[in-house]
Amino acid sequence: MATKTDNGSTSARSTAELLMDVADDLRMLLRKEIELARHELIDGLKAQLLGAGIIALALISVLPALLFAVIALALWLPFSREVSFAIVAGGLSMFTVVGIGIGIWVMRRRRVRLDRSIDSIKEDVRWARDQMTR
């Protein structure tokens, strides 16, 4: 089969050569699509990380505000300063212990279980061994 090339000359190309050209073009198209997806993913991740950084800064800035609120609460209580600060410290300590307990409970409840994955891998290994011994 004769085809015309870019420079105007006629060349005979086999079907295999044409298929190889199509495969090369398809491979290049796939690479470009993957590169585009990677760039889009990186741009999205950058935006997400920037947003997370701004939120982290906002959370860090709230800590001094909470400190002033705790001090104001201690000074507002109708006891001596020592007793008021002890009451507030005890309340915060209890809040901390309860929070840690709830956090540990949630982590134990949602522990990652790999039993099915491990069983699946073992089954795949058994299948591969059976295939090799046949």
Q: Give the residue with greater pLDDT, 1 vs 109.
A: 109
Residue labelled with tokens 């870019």? 6
Distance CA 132, CA 134 (A): 6
Distances (CA, A) of 117 to 77, 107, 121: 56, 20, 6
Of 68, 74, 99, the residue nearest 87 (C-alpha): 74
78-132 confidence digits (pLDDT tens):
988 899 999 999 998 998 899 898 988 887 777 666 676 777 778 777 877 777 7
- Give the pLDDT band of residue 1 (cuts 50, 70, 90): very low
Burial of 84 (0-12, 13-18, 19+ CB in 10 A): middle
pLDDT of amino acid 87: 93
Both tokens assigned to 123: 């089954």
Helix (H, G, I), strand (E, B) or coil at 117: helix
pLDDT of amino acid 90: 92
35-52 confidence digits (pLDDT tens):
888 878 787 778 788 888
